[in-house]
Chains A and B, each alone.
Chain A
Amino acid sequence: MKHARWVALAAVLVLGLAACGDVQEEGAEPTGAGGGATDVAQCGSEPIRLAVNPWTGAAVNAWVAKTIMEQEMGCTVELVDMDEFAQFPALAAGDVDATLEVWPSGHAKDYKQYIEGGKGVIDGGELGVVGNIGWFTPTYVVEEHPEVASWEGLKGNEDVFDNKFLGADPTFTIYDEEIIENLGLDLEVTYSGSEAASLAALDKAYEAREPILMYFWSPHWAQAKYDLTEVQLPEYDEQCAEAAATKDGEGYDCDYAPDVLYKAFSDQLETKDPAAFAFLSNMRYTNEDQNEIALAVDDGGQSLEEAAQAWVDANRDVWEAWLPKA
């Protein structure tokens, strides 16, 4: 293996050449030279890292924030894709700085441990979007079988849906099996595995006008595309809140909690970059705003970047208030 020495030398040489810094590509714009008003606070040099969960709404928030922060505040924003389960540990460890759409119903335990316990994560305030998880069925089903519009009517008539309930991504917030068991419904839960698979199943059923009962939520652009009715479940109460927060869902027997989506930040963000911290704290928009962009992406075939830019260009009045003053 005498030549190993030579190969190593070669590698060092070549890498040495490469180590001289980034190539200045012709026509490449240097980032951070944003043109915004001079009274807007500017970001520091360190990149701001935003967690992006694997659903469209989460990506929309992140792209809106990235677009504005880079163009108006000279920030460098990196988007880090991660599953929901990883985001609180990531925030606490400082791997990411913020996540913009936490569904409280799924993170009661995390909220308790990390935010209330003061373990590296802080509540970043409401996003303004209100989520609603629930059981949905196409309206044509309810028209034919009005009784299934509530759980009481559904009980005993589960065969309308062939005794099947379609769950979504198992990593989402789910208590379907508990609800079914505790309400004594005769339904078998199967899981599509992802938002997109659920949508595919919905699309298939819708086209064939077949009955389907599924876990779904709003805000979601599909709510506009398909006419869906929510099945009424027992009202959300204290006991269910307790079951979700401390007992891993044991005994859960009511509707999903109305989800006032919130933002969560690493507790180091404020010192790391006060301007970014202020902006992200201020960021707040509505279901309609988010839906508009999501629809353009998922149904209109635009890229996230394009859709976010289009919304930013058209809605200055909404986001101008988010910008921190210098």
Chain B
Amino acid sequence: MAVAERVAPAATAPPPAAVPERSPWPRRFVWVAGIAALLVVGLRFAPGFPDRFVLGVGSVFDGIDTWVIDNQRTHWLFTGLLNPLKDAIQATVDGLVTLLSRMTWVGLVTTAGALAGLVAGWRMGLLAAAGVASFGVLGVWERSLQTFALVAISVVISLAIGVPLGIWAGRRAGVDRALRPFLDAMQTIPAYSYLLPFVLFLGTGYPPALAATVVFALPPAVRLTALGVRSVPATTLEVATSFGSTSRQVLRKVQLPMATPSIMLGVNQTIMMALGMVVIAAVVAAEGLGREVLDALKLLRVGAAFNAGLAIVIMAIVLDRVTTAWSCRERERRGRATRIAGRTVSRRALVVAAVAASAIGVLVGREVIRQQEWPESLTFSVAAPVDAIVEWSQRNLGDAAEAIGAALTAGLLDPLRTLLTREPWWVIAALAALAGWKVKGPRLAVFSFVCVFLLGALGTWNLSMHTLSIVLVAVVLSLVVAIPVGILASRSDAVDRAIKPLLDAMQTMPAFVYLVPVLLLFSIGTPVPAVIASVVYALPVGIRLTNLGIRQVPATIVEAAEAYGATSTQRLRKVELPLARPSILLGVNQTIMMVLSVVIIGGMIGAGGLGFEALVALSKKRIGQGVVVGLSILLLAIVLDRITQAMGSAPRSLRGPVGLSGMGRWPKLRAIRGSVSSERTDGTNGKGEA
């Protein structure tokens, strides 16, 4: 692939009179030799980061816990603000759970079906009803209701804050610029870093869980709203202004309606993000499906974790499909009457039917069946079969896995970690700067250097290098698998179709769920389980973006290649891969971000590094250490993100609002694609006006 990259510029090379095209190899060789020399020289100097440059950032925060403990009964901040807020949140979520359970399982299944059917079509209605029923079947009825209630209220709050902020940012570039680093940080800093302050200020249970969820789920709401508002063509705004619209009228009648698809995508993404925090919610003692996953993880019950994870996946898929179908239909239908069986049915009639169905469902559930909870006899947990599979694999694959793990540790992880920690900090910083320079220019070089320096200044040098080594290994492994599979999927529709649902599930399943089986299979107490889990988690995005990139190569160009007699391999190497490069590099970027997020969680299962430190800070209640670790992870993420992002060079537009947000979960590639196309439209229109 590296060779193929070079082909594109050569095709547009100047006339033959120019210097004859030289092989890229000598240049490349110089680079490799230079870097090797730098590394060798570096080993002669003191390793790591000198203590005298370390800033005591953490200690600034260390008094907070004492202050909170001393004042939480008396200070107005608690008595007047936080405690009532906390009680209100708790009461709201509890109230919603109670309400939902009182609707009874029959009522909930029918209501979910009727509502989804009303807004998104009968197919979605069936899907929603089946989804809700599956919570019962999996035996996690109550837990699912709790999770749904928490997610629903978190999403409502995220949107209530995020959409207005997004509108503001969409209309004022300055606001947008000011918000951007905060949004990046919110999605990059692992929740473990800020759970402790949340617990101190908001106690345990739903309130801190909701706060953590909102922090994580807010960014897509802001970004996609802003994007939607910004993407309204300048001409359209001129139209509105030229007819004498007030600023409010422009917003209400033009910007908001035209941004609706993007805002709906934001809603969808916000829901997905909120579901991604379900397990974290359990860490602060919020009830719900996350609790099952977390307990199962602690007790190594793979089946139970998978069972709860499956419920989360189902909830995610139902909510995703229904909201997506809703926004699509909204656009198509535009208030026209629906046709059922060739007959036109008015909107009102449909609503009445849906309400009636829900009401009947609730009534039947309450008065006829008289059962709130899903009946025990109708449950089927997948725990036992999954456990059986795991046990079988442990017996039969255990040795192989152990061998792979040992090879991975001895061959890649240990040497790389040793190298990174043995080098003095300035070698690493110089390498980052070099990479920055090569892919973008001096500004990125300086930026990367400073970030790496700050990493040392925070006092987390060795931990950061440890984490970095794991991330690098996992990214390479992930890409080694993802790119060929992506190419394969782009070549064969059958493969594409076959792996699609699998990829969906892999990305929606909370990463915590993977941790358990890999822990049982691979060597406990090494980073290997975390590496494997992060590879599994990051694979889909790499596969998808490779596939997408190749499939987006215009047919005429492929035809041209064929017309000149290119073989299939030539076509791939000389045409498709170079043209798919931006998309594949976006895949690399996203892979890095996702791997990093799992490697951090991997601190829980022996991966060590920054993730582990975050956990220790949490459990030992060291706020300052938590902040420092969080910032370190942010810095690491920013450097990796900016450099790989610039590798994709020109198409900044391709990135849309993804970037660091990939740190979380991007369960739907459509999201990326959607933002790509809308941002492109924006670009063209902007130019048209200039």
A residues whose Cβ falls under 8 Å from a Cβ of B: 2-3, 6-7, 9-11, 13-15, 17-26, 51, 54-55, 80-86, 89-90, 92-96, 109-110, 113-114, 117, 119-120, 164, 166-167, 169-172, 190-201, 204, 248
Please name all residues of chain B whose beta carbon is closer than 8 Å to the beta carbon of A3 when the two chains form the complex: 347-348, 351
Task: Given contacts A19-B99, A81-B294, list 9 more A-B pairs with CB under 8 A.
Answer: A10-B351, A14-B107, A55-B298, A80-B204, A85-B620, A109-B620, A110-B621, A170-B604, A200-B524
- Of A17, A19, A22, A94, the residue contacting B372 (CB under 8 A) is A22
A17 B363 Cβ-Cβ under 8 A? yes
- Of A9, A19, A119, the residue contacting B70 (CB under 8 A) is A119
Complex CA–CA separation, A53 to B366 (angstroms): 36
CB distance from B472 to the nearest CB of A (A): 20
Stretch at the interface among B22-30, B131-139, B195-203, B421-429: B195-203
Complex CA–CA separation, A17 to B371 (angstroms): 15
Q: Does B285 contact A (CB under 8 A)?
A: yes
A92 B69 Cβ-Cβ under 8 A? yes
Contact with A along B487-524 (1 / 0, CB 8 A): 00000000000000000000000000001000110001
Q: Does B443 contact A (CB under 8 A)?
A: no
> Which B residue sits closest to A15, measured CB to CB?
B99
Complex CA–CA separation, A54 to B301 (angstroms): 13
Please name all residues of chain A whose beta carbon is closer than 8 Å to the beta carbon of B118 when the two chains form the complex: 7
Please name all residues of chain B whose beta carbon is closer than 8 Å to the beta carbon of A119 when the two chains form the complex: 69-70, 72-73
A86 B519 Cβ-Cβ under 8 A? no
Ordered by A's residue number, 11 sampled pairs between the chains whose C-beta atoms are within 8 Å are A13-B355, A15-B99, A18-B103, A25-B372, A83-B283, A120-B72, A170-B615, A172-B619, A192-B606, A194-B297, A196-B300
Residues A201 and B621 in contact in the complex (CB < 8 Å), given A10-B354, A23-B104: no
Residues A96 and B370 in contact in the complex (CB < 8 Å), given A54-B294, A81-B285, A119-B69: no
- The 8 A-B pairs of least Cβ separation, nearest first, read A190-B525, A171-B619, A82-B285, A193-B605, A196-B300, A93-B203, A10-B355, A90-B204
B204 A95 Cβ-Cβ under 8 A? yes
Complex CA–CA separation, A80 to B66 (angstroms): 25
Complex CA–CA separation, A170 to B291 (angstroms): 19
> Which A residue sits closest to B524, measured CB to CB?
A201
B612 A191 Cβ-Cβ under 8 A? yes
A196 B299 Cβ-Cβ under 8 A? yes
> Which A residue sits closest to B398, measured CB to CB?
A204
Q: Which of B593-628 contact A (CB under 8 A)?
A: 603-606, 608, 612, 615-616, 618-622
CB distance from B617 to the nearest CB of A (A): 10
Please name all residues of chain A whose beta carbon is closer than 8 Å to the beta carbon of B370 when the two chains form the complex: 23-26
Contact with A along B335-365 (1 / 0, CB 8 A): 1000000000001100100110011001101
- Of A17, A19, A54, A170, the residue contacting B612 (CB under 8 A) is A170
A6 B348 Cβ-Cβ under 8 A? yes
Count chain A CB atoms within 10 A of each CB in B104, B118, B524, B604 and give the residue with the most. Answer: B524
B282 A23 Cβ-Cβ under 8 A? no
B119 A17 Cβ-Cβ under 8 A? no
Residues A18 and B362 in contact in the complex (CB < 8 Å), given A10-B354, A190-B526, A191-B612: yes
Count chain A CB atoms within 10 A of each CB in B205, B298, B520, B604 and give the residue with the most. Answer: B298
B616 A170 Cβ-Cβ under 8 A? yes
Residues A14 and B300 in contact in the complex (CB < 8 Å), given A54-B295, A81-B291, A120-B73: no
- Of A14, A23, A93, A170, the residue contacting B111 (CB under 8 A) is A14
CB distance from B143 to the nearest CB of A (A): 11
B295 A81 Cβ-Cβ under 8 A? yes
CB distance from A181 to the nearest CB of B (A): 14
Residues A18 and B619 in contact in the complex (CB < 8 Å), given A86-B285, A92-B69, A194-B297: no
